[in-house]
Amino acid sequence: MTAAASPTVLTVVRAGALTTVQDLGRPGYAHLGVPASGALDRPAHLLANRLVGNPAGAAGLETTLNGCAVRASRPMLAAVTGAACPVRVDGRPVAWGAPVPVPAGAVLDVGAATLGVRAYLAFAGGVDVPEVLGSRATDLLSGLGPAPLADGAELPLGARPSGLTGACDVLPYGGLGAELVLPLLPGPRDDWFTPDAPRVLARGRYEVSPASNRIGLRTLGPPLERVRDAELPSEGMVLGAVQVPPDGRPVVFLADHPTTGGYPVIGVVPAAALPAAAQARPGTPVRFTPARRR
C-alpha cells in the first residue's frame, strides 16, 4: 500500500487588511443568536468555485480592499473573482476571473482592488478548515469559525475534485456600478418615522460610510426623524434590514448582522440586491428606491 498524499497547504504570505474564510454560511441558528454569515458577495463566491470545479458550498477566501498573498505547498488550481484587481503568480500577471494553475511553492498574489472592495479566491478542493455548526465561515460578530488570516498562518485544502469535470474556462460576471441602488421594502417600523422619511430616503444624498463592515453598510447623509421616541424592545433582525440608530442615518444589515436589535427598522433591502453593497467603497453614492412586495 502507498501512503496517502499529503494535503495541499496554503501558507499566508500577506494577510491583507481583512481576509477571512467564507462559504455559504450557517443559516438556521438565529434562535441561538448566531448570524448566517458567509460570503458577502455570494455570486462572486459561487463563480469562483465554479471556475475551479468546486461544489457551491466549498470554502474560499474573501479579501478586503488590498487583497492577500498565499504560497501553495503543492500544485493547485485557483480563481479570483469579485472586486477587480491585479492577480500574479510569482510576480507574473495571470488572469482574473479564470482558472489559474499555481505551481508548488509559487506565490499567488491578489493585489489591491481597483474597482469594488472584496475579492474572492477559490481553490480546487476548497479550504478545509474544521466546520462549526455546519460551516467553515468566519463570523466576525459571534467569533465562530477560523480567525481572520494572519501572516504565516497555514490553511489546508481539500482533495482536488476528480478530473475537474465542473471547471470552466470563463464565465460571465456583471460589472460594478458607480452608484449603489438599493430597493427598499417598507416596514416593519416605518410608522416610527415622520411621514416625510420615505421621501428623504428616496431623494437624500447618501453615501457609504468608512465605518461599514461585514455586519452592516453604514451610510452618511440626511438623518431620518422619528415621531416615536419610546424604547423599542429587542426584536428579530433579518438580512437586509435597514435599521436607524439614534443619529438617524440608515444602516443596512449584511451577513454578520446581529439576530436581534432594539433600533427601529424602516425597511428591508431584498437579499438579491445585497452583493452590490458588499462591493461599494466608502464614498460611493447610495440611493434607496421604493420596492413592492410580489
Residues 58 and 188 in one domain: no
Residues 76 and 117 in one domain: yes
Residues 115 and 223 in one domain: no
- Lay out the sheet containing 68-72: strands in order across: 92-94, 87-89, 107-110, 68-72, 9-14, 154-156
Residues 146 and 190 in one domain: no
Residues 143 and 193 in one domain: no
Q: Is the peptide bond before 195 cis (omega within 30 degrees of 0)?
A: no
Cβ contact 81:100 at 8 Å: no
Cβ contact 73:154 at 8 Å: no
Domain, as residue range, for 239: 180-290
CATH number for the domain harbouring residue 222: 2.40.100.10
Domain-located, residue 53 = yes
Tens of pLDDT, residue by residue over 50-101, are: 999 999 999 999 999 999 999 999 999 999 999 999 999 999 999 999 999 9
Domain-located, residue 91 = yes
Give the pLDDT of residue 173.
Answer: 62
Residues 59 and 151 in one domain: yes
Give the pLDDT of residue 178.
Answer: 83
Question: Residues in the chain with pLDDT < 70?
Answer: 1-5, 161-175, 293-294
Residues 26 and 149 in one domain: yes
- Report how many domains make up the chain: 2
Residues 37 and 146 in one domain: yes
pTM of the model: 0.92
Give the pLDDT of residue 60.
Answer: 98
